[in-house]
Amino acid sequence: IVAIDFGTSYSGYCFSLASGTDQIRQVYWGTEHGLKTPKTPTCILFNQKQEFRKFGYDAVMKYKSLPSSEADNWYFFQNFKMKLYNTVATSGMELKASNGKTLPALTVFSESLRYLKEHALNTIQEASFQTVYDQEEITWVITVPAIWSAAARQFMRLAAKEAGLISDMISEKLIIALEPEAASLWCKQL
């Protein structure tokens, strides 16, 4: 099981392997930047060709290091998650980057999830010394705010499909969990 907390400001994940179901493993971020945090900023960076480049601390550091003349041509997104709240979330909606340029929201969300997926698979391989050959073995959990509409939750499912977490929209290998319910279950666990 890989549980992704796709946060408004910070994101992260933890996982549990079938061989050790009682052991939940958490990941720490930012060590290459002199930090050690349980989450990384929910920021994503695309280059001038609209290609994914960086996520999290790496996106922030890269964007800040760009000369201002060059930064104007890149696409840096932060605090974009709540754009799905109080709006009609559709697969064709656009999001504005810091510089006002736009990209499809589905691209921004799916590339963020793709990055977290790849990071998780690499971490699991390092933790267990084995590659996850059959990704169908993984159950993915993505948390969303309870205040989100059914359309916004469906948009996250579509983004997960685009990111390769699941192969079809009705897959039972993806659980969209409401944040307060996930928190409640964790408190019960403690």
Q: How far apart are CA 105 and CA 89, in angstroms?
A: 9
How high is the pLDDT of residue 90?
Answer: 87
Query: Which residue in 150, 146, 128, 152 sits closest to 138, CA to CA?
Result: 128
CA distances from 43 to 10, 25, 60, 75, 79 (A): 8, 23, 7, 10, 7
Residue 149 CB: number of other CB atoms within 10 A? 14
Are 155 and 84 in contact, with CB atoms under 8 Å apart? yes
Structure letter (DSSP) for residue 138? P
CA distances from 104 to 40, 90, 94, 97, 130 (A): 23, 10, 4, 11, 35
How high is the pLDDT of residue 132?
Answer: 63
The predicted model scores a pTM of 0.92
How high is the pLDDT of residue 129?
Answer: 66
Buried b (16+ CB within 10 A) or exposed e, 43-65: bbbbeeeeebbbbbbbbbebbee
How high is the pLDDT of residue 130?
Answer: 67
How high is the pLDDT of residue 133?
Answer: 61
CATH class of 13-19+26-188: alpha beta
Q: Which residues of the chain have pLDDT under 70?
A: 19-22, 129-133
Are 152 and 13 in contact, with CB atoms under 8 Å apart? no
How high is the pLDDT of residue 159?
Answer: 97
Query: Which residue in 117, 120, 171 sits closest to 17, CA to CA?
Result: 120
How high is the pLDDT of residue 43?
Answer: 98
- Give residue limits of the domains in the chain: 13-19+26-188
160, containing H or E segment: helix 150-162
pLDDT in tens, 101-128: 999 999 999 999 999 999 999 988 887 7
Q: Read off φ and ψ for residue 167, nearest 5 degrees.
A: -95, -20
